[in-house]
C-alpha cells in the first residue's frame, strides 16, 4: 500500500522514545506524506500542506528504529499494544512504530538540512554502494580514528550499514583483526575491507538480511544471512578457512566473532 501523497488524519504518541517528538501531534493533521528517503538507519518522511509540494525545504519526521523497532503500515488500525509508541494515521492506513526497548525515535524537523535532522545525520558516513566512496576516501576516514577497527565500523563514521554481524563477516573475509587500530590499516587492506563490506552487504540483501529474534520484512519474511555467516555466532567452532577456532570477544558492548589464525593485526 503506497504511503506517498496520503493525508495525515491524526498522530498518536505512546510511551516516550529516545527523543521527544518536538511538536504537538495535532500539528501533523492535514499534511501530506512525500517520498520517503533513507539515510543510514534513518527514514525521512517529508510532510507538506499540499500534495506534490515537497522539496529540500519541506518539514517532516525523522524516524529511527533503534535496536528492536519495526514499522508497519496497517490497512485497518487495531488498538495499540504496550510496545506501540507512535501512530501516523493517514488516508492510506496507519503507520505504526513498535519498539519494545524504546531506543527508536520519531523527531519533527523543519527540514532535512536543518536541526534536529541535520544534527542527527551529520556524523554519518557515506552509503556503502555510493560510487563516491572510493577506497582512497574510505582509507582517509579510517586514518582519522585511533579506536579498534570494528568499533569504527559500527560507529558509521566511515561508512553506514556495517552492523555488528556484517562488520564481523567483512573483517573475516578481508583477513583483518577486529582489534587492529583504525589508523594502522594500510591503504591496500582498506581497499580489501571496503570490497568485503560491499560483498557482504550485497549477499545479505539477496538473503533478506539477518534475523536473530522476531524481525520480518514488509512481506512477513525473515532474513537468512545469519545461516550463511562464516564467524558470527560460531564461537568455539572450526574456522572453515584454516581449521582454527572461532573466538568471541566484547568490543564496545557488542560481541565480536573472529578467527585469530586468519585475521591478522
pTM above 0.85, yes or no: no
**pLDDT value for 217:** 45
Give the residues across from 39 on adjacent strands.
Answer: 42
In whole angstroms, give the CA distance from residue 154 to residue 253.
11
> Which CATH architecture best describes the domain 8-121?
Alpha-Beta Barrel (3.20)
226: CB partners within 8 A, 6+ apart: 165, 210, 211, 212, 232, 233
Asked if pLDDT for residue 78 goes beyond 90, the answer is: no
Give the residues across from 95 on adjacent strands.
Answer: 73, 88
pLDDT tens column, 146-203:
999 999 999 999 999 898 999 999 999 999 999 999 999 999 999 999 999 999 999 9
User: Phi and psi dihedrals of 40, rounded to 5?
Assistant: 60, -125
Asked if pLDDT for residue 263 goes beyond 50, the answer is: yes
pLDDT level of residue 220 (50, 70, 90 thresholds): very low
C-beta of residue 98 within 8 angstroms of C-beta of residue 85: yes
**pLDDT value for 105:** 96
The better pLDDT of the pair 58, 68 is held by 58
Residue 146 buriedness (CB in 10 A; 0-12 / 13-18 / 19+): exposed
Rg (CA), the chain: 20
User: Phi and psi dihedrals of 60, rounded to 5?
Assistant: 175, -170
Q: For residue 76, how many other CB atoms are within 10 A of its CB?
A: 6
**pLDDT value for 224:** 55
Tell me how many degrees the CA angle 190-196-201 measures, rounded to the nearest 5: 130
Domain ranges of the chain: 8-121, 135-259
Is omega for the bond preceding 63 within 30 degrees of 0, making it cis? no
Point out the least confidently predicted range of 73-77, 204-208, 251-255, 256-260. Answer: 204-208
Region 40-50 average pLDDT: 94
In whole angstroms, give the CA distance from residue 73 to residue 24.
22
In whole angstroms, give the CA distance from residue 125 to residue 134.
12
Average pLDDT, the chain: 91
Asked if pLDDT for residue 68 goes beyond 90, the answer is: no
**Fold entry, domain 135-259:** Helicase, Ruva Protein; domain 3 (1.10.8)
Phi-psi label, residue 229: left if phi above 0, alpha if psi -120 to 50, beta otherwise: beta
pLDDT tens column, 89-121:
999 999 999 999 999 999 999 999 999 999 999
Burial call 147-181: b when 16+ CB within 10 Å, e when fewer:
bbbbbbbbbbbbbbbbbbbbbbbbbbbbebbbbbe
**pLDDT value for 1:** 54
pLDDT level of residue 219 (50, 70, 90 thresholds): very low
In whole angstroms, give the CA distance from residue 146 to residue 2.
45
Asked if pLDDT for residue 222 goes beyond 60, the answer is: no
**pLDDT value for 36:** 94
Region 1-7 average pLDDT: 86
C-beta of residue 261 within 8 angstroms of C-beta of residue 175: no
Amino acid at each position: 500500500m503506497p504511503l506517498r501523497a496520503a493525508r495525515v488524519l491524526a498522530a498518536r504518541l505512546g510511551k516516550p522514545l529516545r527523543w521527544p517528538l518536538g511538536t504537538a501531534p495535532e500539528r501533523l493533521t492535514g499534511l501530506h506524506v512525500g517520498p520517503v528517503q533513507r539515510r543510514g538507519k534513518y527514514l525521512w518522511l517529508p510532510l507538506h500542506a499540499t500534495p506534490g509540494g515537497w522539496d529540500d525545504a519541506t518539514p517532516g519526521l525523522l524516524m529511527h528504529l533503534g535496536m528492536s523497532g519495526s514499522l508497519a503500515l496497517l490497512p485497518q488500525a487495531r488498538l495499540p499494544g504496550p510496545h506501540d509508541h507512535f501512530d501516523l494515521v493517514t488516508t492510506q492506513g496507519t503507520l505504526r512504530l513498535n519498539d519494545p526497548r524504546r531506543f527508536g525515535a520519531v523527531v519533527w524537523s523543519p527540514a532535512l538540512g536543518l536541526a534536529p535532522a541535520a544534527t542527527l545525520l551529520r556524523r554519518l558516513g557515506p552509503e556503502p554502494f555510493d560510487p563516491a566512496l572510493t577506497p582512497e576516501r574510505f582509507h582517509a576516514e579510517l586514518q582519522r580514528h585511533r579506536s579498534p577497527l570494528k568499533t569504527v565500523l559500527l560507529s558509521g563514521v566511515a561508512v553506514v550499514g556495517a552492523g555488528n554481524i556484517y562488520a564481523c563477516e567483512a573483517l573475516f573475509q578481508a583477513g583483518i583483526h577486529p582489534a587492529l587500530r583504525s589508523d594502522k590499516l594500510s591503504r591496500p587492506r582498506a581497499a580489501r575491507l571496503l570490497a568485503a563490506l560491499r560483498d557482504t552487504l550485497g549477499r545479505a540483501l539477496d538473503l533478506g538480511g539477518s534475523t536473530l529474534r522476531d524481525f520480518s520484512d514488509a512481506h512477513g519474511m525473515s532474513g537468512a544471512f545469519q545461516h550463511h555467516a562464516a564467524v558470527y555466532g560460531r564461537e568455539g567452532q572450526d574456522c572453515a578457512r584454516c581449521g582454527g577456532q572461532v573466538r568471541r570477544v566484547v568490543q564496545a558492548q557488542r560481541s565480536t566473532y573472529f578467527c585469530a589464525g586468519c585475521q591478522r593485526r
